Every structure is written in C-alpha cells, then in structure tokens.
C-alpha cells in the first residue's frame, strides 16, 4: 500500500494490531465455514428429495426447452426492459428538468407527478394500467372498446415508477454541476435551453451514469412482476417448465443464473462507465504551472527556471 493509502486509511480508523488481525482472520474463517456448512446442508436436503437426479435436469439440455420456453421468455423480458428503459429515461429527463423550472406551476406539477408515481408500488401501477379500460367503463358507463395487453401494462408500470426515480437522479446530477458552469455559459450569451442541453445535461448524465445504470438493473429485475398479469416473460416460462417436468428447483436455479449473468453484465457496464469518466476527468485536469513535468516544485525563495534559449536577466549593480 502506498504512503497516501496508509494516510487515508489512518484518517478513518487505527491500523489493526496483531491480535486484531488474528481476530479478523478467525471471524472470516468461522463465517466461511458456516456458509459452506449451510450450503452443504441445503445440497444434501435437495439430494434427499431427488432434485439432483439427471432426469430433472435433462430438459435443460434439450433444444425444444430453449426454443419454446427459455429464449421466448428471455426475449419478452429484454423487450419489455428495453422499451421501458427508453421511455423511463425520457420521462425522467422531462420531469427532472421540470422540477428545476423557474415557473412555480411547472415545478410544482412536475414534483407532484414524480412523488405520486414514486410512492405507488410498481405492482399496483401494473394492475391499474391493466384494469384501466374496465374501470373507465364502470365509472362513466361508456365502454372504451380497447384492451390493455400484459406487455403494455408492464411497460407502463416500469416507465412510470423507474422514470420517477430517474427524474430525481437527473435533478441531483444537474444540481451537482458547479454554478460557475452555467454562469460562464450565460456570460457567453447562451439562452437557458442552450445552457441546459449543451452545458448542464452532458455533465450531469456523465457524473450520474453509474446511478442511472444501477436503476436500469432494478428495472430489468422488476420486469419479472409481469408474471402476475400473465406476461410470458422469463420467470413465467420457467414456472411453466417446472410445472410440466416437475423440476421446480432446477428450473428456479437456471432462471436465477440467467438473471444473475444479465445483471452482473449491467453492473460491470456501470463500473466501466464510472472508471472511464474518472479517467477522462483526471486526463483533462490542467497541470499546475509551478510544478515542472518530472520534477519537484521550486523551493521557497528560489526563482523559477528560465525557458531554454532565453537571455539571462541583467544583474543589478550595487550602489
């Protein structure tokens, strides 16, 4: 560890001594042993129930299972998540900027919409969207003649809920940009829409990109709630597989593994974006003029070195 790393750690807590390190290693070993013991107990219990038999896992090596259940369910899940992602980002941008409006009516209206949809459970939003035509006909006595599909209900619920959360993310990102950025833009004659789209939003999105991607991971996992309204997504298709072949536990394990791979990929994308933004910021940082490239700063009282090829300054004569 570097000297800077030791200094930073020392500011947070005292470095553990030999006894403290021994206790930490002991706690770690006990925790790992307990975790392995629990996993072993679960493995043995499932084995006693015949969950590890080859017959229960054989459907997952057959092409019909993947072509008729897994791939269609995965495609529906990704379709709903992709459409909801685009709409949620647009919703968040509009209402996040609206909450920063100078007009009180716009600011209050956008804030009310965001807080309303953010405070309602996602499952209720999906149910309300699906039952909207029926509720309208019962309330006004006029049938709409339309029917909301499960895909539309899931996408609408995901858009309203996650878009409200993203609106707060965008608002926080815009507020985190230093005020001097917008002041400099106004001094150059830019109008407010130009300042927002050219100066503030790019920096806000860049700084909040990990939080945005993390919320999109939540959106992808929440798409599994479409199972409640009979949307043929990944979880529902695996549930049908488990019912058909009487292998609920293997189907749940495979389904969880697919979700874990997708979410870890998105999380890695967020980490890469964060490191990329951090590297771009450090590479673009201006170098201090008092520190030469490859040397230490001049000591107190020393005059800075003259550039190469310059004539020496005349020496003043003493009187």
pLDDT of residue 280: 64
Residue showing tokens 């600011």: 107
- Mean pLDDT score of the chain: 82
pLDDT of residue 211: 85
pLDDT of residue 312: 47
pTM for the whole thing? Answer: 0.74
pLDDT of residue 11: 59
Residues 6+ apart with CB under 8 A from 221: 259, 263
Is residue 199 within 8 A of residue 178, CB to CB? The reply is: no
Residue showing tokens 């899931």: 154
Q: Write out the DSSP string of 268-308.
A: HHHHHHHHHHHHHHHHTSPPPTTS-TTSPPPPTTPPPPPPT
Report residue 288's pLDDT band, with 50, 70 and 90 as the boundaries.
very low
Report residue 263's pLDDT band, with 50, 70 and 90 as the boundaries.
confident
Residues 6+ apart with CB under 8 A from 73: 232, 233, 234, 235, 236, 237, 238
3.40.50.360, 1.10.3470.10, 1.10.1200.10, 1.10.3720.10: CATH of 51-279: 1.10.3720.10
Residue 291 has pLDDT above 70, yes or no: no
Round the CA-based radius of gyration of the chain to a whole number and report it. 30
> In this structure, which long-range contacts are made by residues 182-187, counting pairs with CB atoms below 8 Å and at least 24 apart in sequence?
none
Residues 6+ apart with CB under 8 A from 222: 122, 158, 161, 162
Report residue 283's pLDDT band, with 50, 70 and 90 as the boundaries.
low
Cα 48 off chain centre by: 40
Residue 306 has pLDDT above 50, yes or no: no
Q: Summarize the confidence of residues 233-241 as an average pLDDT.
A: 91
SS3 string, 44-60, reads HHHHHCCCCCHHHHHHH
Q: Summarize the confidence of residues 256-277 as an average pLDDT.
A: 83
Q: Summarize the confidence of residues 217-238 as an average pLDDT.
A: 90
pLDDT tens digit string along 16-32?
888 888 999 999 999 99
pLDDT of residue 199: 86
Residue 286 has pLDDT above 60, yes or no: no
pLDDT of residue 90: 94
Domain residue ranges of the chain, discontinuous segments joined by +? 51-279
C-alpha to C-alpha distance for 198 and 302, rounded to whole angstroms: 44
pLDDT of residue 47: 87
pLDDT of residue 133: 82
pLDDT of residue 201: 85
Cα 249 off chain centre by: 29
Tell me which of 15 and 280 has the higher pLDDT: 15
């Amino acid at each position: 560890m570097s000297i800077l790393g030791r200094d930073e750690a020392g500011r947070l807590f005292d470095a553990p001594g030999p006894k403290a390190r021994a206790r930490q290693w002991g706690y770690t070993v006990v925790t790992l042993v307990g975790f392995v013991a629990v996993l072993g107990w679960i493995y043995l219990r499932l084995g006693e129930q015949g969950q590890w038999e080859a017959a229960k896992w054989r459907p997952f090596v057959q092409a019909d299972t993947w072509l008729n259940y897994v791939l269609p369910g995965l495609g529906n899940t990704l379709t709903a998540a992709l459409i909801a992602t685009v709409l949620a980002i647009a919703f968040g941008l509009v209402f996040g900027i609206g909450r920063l409006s100078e007009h009180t009516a716009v600011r209050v209206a956008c804030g009310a919409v965001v807080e309303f949809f953010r405070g309602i459970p996602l499952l209720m939003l999906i149910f309300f969207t699906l039952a909207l035509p029926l509720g309208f006909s019962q309330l006004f006595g006029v049938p709409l003649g339309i029917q909301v599909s499960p895909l539309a209900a899931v996408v609408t619920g995901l858009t309203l809920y996650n878009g409200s959360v993203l609106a707060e993310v965008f608002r926080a990102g815009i507020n985190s940009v230093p005020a001097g950025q917008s002041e400099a833009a106004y001094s150059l004659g830019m109008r407010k829409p130009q300042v927002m789209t050219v100066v503030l939003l790019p920096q806000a999105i860049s700084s909040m990109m990990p939080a945005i991607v993390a919320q999109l991971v939540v959106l992808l996992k929440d798409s599994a709630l479409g199972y409640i309204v009979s949307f043929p997504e990944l979880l529902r298709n695996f549930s049908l597989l488990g019912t058909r072949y009487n292998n609920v536990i293997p189907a749940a394990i495979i389904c969880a593994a697919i979700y874990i791979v997708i979410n870890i990929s998105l999380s890695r994308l967020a980490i890469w974006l964060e490191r990329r933004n951090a590297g771009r910021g450090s590479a673009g940082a201006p170098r201090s003029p008092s520190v030469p490239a490859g040397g230490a700063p001049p000591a107190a009282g020393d005059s800075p070195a003259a550039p190469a090829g310059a004539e020496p300054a005349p020496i003043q004569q003493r009187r």
